[in-house]
Amino acid sequence: MVPLLLVLLLVLLLFGAGFAVKILWWVAIAVLILWLIGFVARPQGGSGRWYRW
């Protein structure tokens, strides 16, 4: 019974980690798209950077 519970716990942890990694990939893609839009649509005057830092 204990090995079965350990295997189920391991599967649950791996599924949770996989789901979290998939969410992080989507967040990274969204940030990349926003960065590219800001890079293309930056103001012509000034330092040329659209962000403050």
Mean pLDDT of each 10-residue bin along the chain, 53 residues long: 86 82 90 85 62 58
CB distance 42 to 49 below 8 Å: yes
| Number of Cβ within a 10 Å radius of residue 50 | 14
Predicted local confidence at residue 26, as pLDDT: 92
Predicted local confidence at residue 7, as pLDDT: 87
- Angle among Cα 44, 48, 52 to the nearest 5 degrees reads 125
User: Which one, of 40, 38, 19, 41, lies nearest residue 30 by Cα?
Assistant: 38
Predicted local confidence at residue 33, as pLDDT: 92
The pTM score is 0.56
